[in-house]
Amino acid sequence: MTGVGARQAGSMSYREAMREAMREALAADDRVFLMGEDVGRYGGAFGVSLGLVEEFGPERVRDTPLSESGFVGAGIGAAIAGLRPIVEVMTVNFSLLALDQILNNAATLLHMSGGQVAVPLVIRMTTGAGRQLAAQHSHSLEAFYAHIPGIRVLAPATVADARWMLAPALADPDPVIVFEHGSLYNGTDSTADEPGPVDLGSAVVRRPGADLSLITYGGSLGKALTAAEQLAAQDEVDAEVVDLRSLRPLDDATVIGSVRRTHRAVIVDEGWRTGGLSAEVAARITEQAFYDLDAPVERVCGAEVPVPYAAQLEQAALPQVPDIVAAALRAVG
């Protein structure tokens, strides 16, 4: 490993895991290139691509103008032409400027062409709040994209998933959107270098339990795991924690299997409650496991406001561990 983005051996951060995944992809396949605002000499808005331009050159790590629709559209064209672009969008808020390209072109061309025009494109973007970046840089709009047929939506919550999800995403013939929660970039894991197969369509039980299911994804996984430990220590409630990992398609089998074991469900989603992913997961549980439930499905979501800048207000607007614990205790009665 070379360049200013080199990391220390023995431990890998989420940021470094994404960088390693991109480095491996760039080295393995000449068709792969990275494109986005400041991804080259600056190393990306969050330092994820630091050092890659020095290693692979500006033809394969390409800085773009501040024009999300333009460079996402260019990525779609490159994918159609046979390349394997990785397009970085600074935050999910700005991706709305490219929503027309994603929805009306990337997601639809394979279907509108009768299977003749595939768009094997990966779009990475930061999502989520908690860093005082104010409303236009902090929202969780994953549900917007999970609503769209024709694309795959991933939310790696662990360093290992950040390290190993990119390769199968690049191999997917359909467009794949990868949501990286901004609070995860500095998290580390000493085992993430260990290769492991990643099934892009599967949720994972991160903590087994018997009394209720805490179902979440992305930046909320750590809070759910902390809440589960508190519940076990203080209230003798054994919570199972399910990491969705894939937001489209949702892994119904793992979610429903967990609820059928525990008979109670709490869904934790940093996004807005109305029309959000938590609503979709709750609907599927009631459709498929209604008679297995011993209590109504609980939801812990972000407040229905633009994410505030002020630290106290921002924290108050987000799901927190005490909120999850309280919902879990309501569920178990």
DSSP β-ladder status, 246-248 and 152-154:
antiparallel
Is there a catalytic annotation at residue 137?
yes
DSSP β-ladder status, 246-248 and 212-216:
unpaired
Is there a catalytic annotation at residue 304?
no
How far, in Å, are 120, 151, 154, 280 from residue 147 at the CA level? 19, 9, 13, 10
Whether cis (ω within 30° of 0) applies to the bond prior to 168 is: no
Three-state SS across the chain? CCCCCCCCCCCEEHHHHHHHHHHHHHHHCCCEEEEECCCCCCCCCCCCCCCHHHHHCCCCEEECCCCHHHHHHHHHHHHHCCCEEEEEEEEHHHHHHHHHHHHHHHCCHHHHCCCCCCCCCEEEEEECCCCCCCHHHCCCCHHHHHCCCCCEEECCCCHHHHHHCHHHHHHCCCCEEEEEEHHHCCCEECCCCCCCCCCCCCCEEEECCCCEEEEECHHHHHHHHHHHHHHHHHHCCCEEEEECCEEECCCHHHHHHHHHHHCCEEEEEEEECCCCHHHHHHHHHHHHHHHHCCCCCEEEEECCCCCCCCHHHHHHHCCCHHHHHHHHHHHHC
Residue 152: φ, ψ to 5°: -105, 140
Q: Which residue in 137, 180, 240, 280 is the catalytic one?
A: 137
Q: Which residue in 20, 37, 68, 240 is the catalytic one?
A: 68
Q: Residue for token digits 């029309």?
A: 275
Active site residues: 68, 137
